[in-house]
Structures are given as C-alpha cells and as structure tokens.
Chain A
Amino acid sequence: MGDDRNPKALRATLSSHSARNRADEAEAVHVSIKSDRDIIFARQKGKELASRLGFSNTDLTLIATAISELARNIVLYAKTGEVYLKTVKQGERRGLSVVASDEGQGIPDLQRALQDGYSTSHSLGLGLPGVRRLMDEFEINSELNRGTTVSVKKWVP
C-alpha cells in the first residue's frame, strides 16, 4: 500500500539536517501526495513516527488529523505536492515536524484563510485555523502562482 517511492532521495535531503545533530538520529519520511489515497499513507507514516517519540494516543490522533488536512489541501488545491515528516529536537524537547508543500496557485488571501470560520464550515479543505489548533507551532508561506508551504510542529509534552 502507498508508495515510498524514493527512499534514497529522501535520505539524501535528510543527511544535511542530521549531520548537524548526529546524536538525535532524526528520523524522517517523505510522502509524495498525488491522490487522496496518499493522504491516508501520509497520516499513517506520521502517526508511526510520532508514536516512536512517545506521544499520547490523543496527540497521535491530533497529529494524524493535522497531516490529513494539510495533505488534503494539497490534493484539493494543488493536485500534487509533498509531505515531509521529521522528528526534531530542541534542547531537551523532542517533537514532530510536518512540512506540506506544493507548487500550486498559492492562497490569494492568506489573512482570510487563517481566519476562523473561513472554509472550515463548508469543509472544502483549508481549515488552516483548525490545523493550527491541533499543533503547537504553525507557519505558512504562500506565493501566488508559486505554491504554498505549511510547516507545523508538535512537541512531546
């Protein structure tokens, strides 16, 4: 099921990061999002990584749901894109970083997309304020006709 198409390429992108903190043994998974089936694969992979970090069941569900929404936005708005899942460390804190990026049209009104109630009520994806509430850190970059990158993190409490 799913396709972990290019594990070598993935490891290559990772090595620059893990070289900095070799002791962390950062784990990472990259999932190409091409259809709605990949959404399930991405969230399952995210859950696996997060459970190894020791997140509670509730947190695992919050993380998986956030990944699902971010991957869904890719399918809905950009058709294809990438989800990068990575364990991260900051001092004593350990956490999971999720980066969802696409080269789609970008979000025309970012302010509005980050407002509560925009699109969530109709559930046409986006739901960015919701994703923000599921995770601890949230960052978004969107450029018209260039694409969108959403980076979120959750720390093990």
Chain B
Amino acid sequence: MEVPILKQGPYLIASIQSALSDEDLVQLRDALVAQVGKLRSRGVIVDVTALDVMDSFATRTLRDIAHMIRLRGAEMVIVGIQPEVAFALVRLGLKLEGVATALDLEEGILYLNRKMGESGKEMKHRGR
C-alpha cells in the first residue's frame, strides 16, 4: 500500500496508514527523497502512529530516509511511535540514531518550525 505524501507549506507529511511491506517502505524512501527536491521542501514528517510493529527493516529504512533527507538539505522528524513499539525497539536493541522524533504531528511541526527558525538565525548571523 502506497503511503500518501501531503504538502503542507514548506513541509512534506507522509502518513503511514497500515502495515508496510519492504517494497512499500523502499517506495516511500524514493518518493520522499525525490519530492523534497521537486517541491523544495524544508522539512519532512513521517507519521508512524498507525504502525503496530516496527522491525529491523522498517527501523533501518526510516533511519536511512532521515539521513538521505538531511543530505538533500532538509530536516526529517518521525512522529507517533507508539509506547508498545518503543518498548519492542528497545528490547530488540534497535536504535534510531541521529534521527529526530516527536510525540505527534503537532509536536513534529513545532520541531521543524524551531529548526527552520534556528537555520534562519544562523543565516542572519553569518550575514552580519
């Protein structure tokens, strides 16, 4: 099942609706990395609220996507990791190293806004 990607101002929001096959995850990765360039997005939110299982492949692919998005010059944040999923990830020893996470969509947008603010300030600072 393909993951819908919505454009919301400078951000892209990918809302995962159901369990994803490996193929779906790879497709999501390719779509996001391409869309970020096409729409000149500054940030990406991947909402995993509906995911009841995140195994090693899903975790690794999400981590890859986050790093690729950063290499493309944007920021990514994963939102909505459920308490049970967080517990399973910790037990399994899987880490989302270097990947931003936030509680939900709202917090994810706030996180990106803050990041954009920071980079704006930095630019101004450099300009002086």
Contacts and interface: CB of A to CB of B under 8 A. Distances in A.
B22 interface: yes
A40 B19 contact: yes
A44 B92 contact: no
A65 B22 CA distance: 15
A91 B9 CA distance: 60
Nearest to B86: A61
Q: Contact size class for A? A: 20 to 34
Contact of A68 (B53, B60, B82): B53
Main secondary structure of the interface of B (DSSP, over half): helix
A127 B57 CA distance: 11
Given A61-B84, A120-B93, A37 B53 contact: no
Given A72-B56, A123-B57, A130 B92 contact: yes
Given A37-B21, A44-B19, A65 B93 contact: no
Given A36-B23, A65-B53, A123-B56, A116 B88 contact: no
A14 to B, nearest CB: 26
Interface in B51-69: 52-57, 59-60
Main secondary structure of the interface of A (DSSP, over half): helix
B55 A69 contact: yes
Contacts of B82: 61
Interface in A130-144: 130-131, 133-134
Contacts of A123: 56-57, 59-60, 94
Interface string B34-74: 00000000000000000011111101100000000000000
Q: Which 3 A-B pairs have the closest CB atoms?
A: A61-B84, A130-B92, A68-B55
